[in-house]
Amino acid sequence: MLKEMVLRRKTIIKTIDKEAITNTILETLKGMEVMFIYLGGSIAYGTFVGNVSDYDINVFVDGSDNAFKVDIYGMDAFCYGRKIMLERFNPKSKLSIYKKCFIDDYLALPDTLVYLNPKYQKEYEEYKNFKINEVLKGFLSNFYEYFGFCLNGSSYIGKKFYHVIRMRGQLENYKKTGKFTLDVPKSYFDEEIDFKLNYEDKEKQKLYYEKIEKYLNEIYEIKEVMKDG
């Protein structure tokens, strides 16, 4: 049943008008040169659920040194200037901790690529081939800090906390392979989809709170024994 309800990455990407999105972004960001665009969020993570999930887009531009957000067809487009493109991967960068919590969405490339300006093939390859294992401990520290802060004192477990289940699953796979990817064991995948579908169920809120708290603690313990990175 879960497989029927979840639109996996390649399936949902086929329904997206990449050309229309690209043209709108190019028009919206006049005065800047768009380097490349790719889909992030639940599409990248393979957890897209119709009528529940949002669409997120990452845009990299030449002509700005900042990070900013624009609205494209009701979708959030997170834009990054060329000079801070790789700063997204730096756990100690000045980017907001929120923007550093979801850097692993790039691991879905090239499936999620919407547009690539051929002038920036080199920059795209450098970004796509970044070795996240080298900054994994710092990345997880930011992830833990952000979601720990959101959980602390919260009486409501919102949809975004499914990422904690996802991350715990990805780390389970990492423990077995030594490589950090978007792959998760089936049990964790089923858990995160169940959460996305039922997180508003008041009868399950206590259970979900305890699960998220447990997984956050386990994420902390796993990252603490990692080498610096």
Write down the pLDDT at residue 1. 47
Q: Where in the chain is the domain with CATH 3.30.460.10?
A: 2-130
The CATH superfamily holding the domain 2-130 is Beta Polymerase, domain 2 (3.30.460.10)
For residues 219 and 227, what is the distance between their CA atoms, to the nearest angstrom?
15
Which tokens sit at 81?
């200037």
Burial of 145 from C-beta contacts in 10 A (0-12 / 13-18 / 19+)? middle
Query: In 10 A of CB 170, how many CB atoms?
Result: 22
| H/E run at residue 75 | strand 75-81
Entry pTM: 0.93
Between the CA of residue 121 and those of 101, 107, 153, 160, 161, what are the distances in Å? Answer: 25, 17, 46, 33, 35
- Non-local CB neighbours of 114 within 8 Å, separated by 6+ positions: 16, 18, 21, 22, 37, 38, 39, 57
Q: Contact 11/46 with Cβ under 8 angstroms?
A: no
Within 13 Å and on the Cβ side, how many CA atoms surround 78? 19
- Number of residues written out for the chain: 229
Q: Contact 2/193 with Cβ under 8 angstroms?
A: yes
Show the low-confidence residues of the chain (pLDDT under 70): 1-7, 228-229
For residues 142 and 130, what is the distance between their CA atoms, to the nearest angstrom?
18
Write down the pLDDT at residue 116. 98
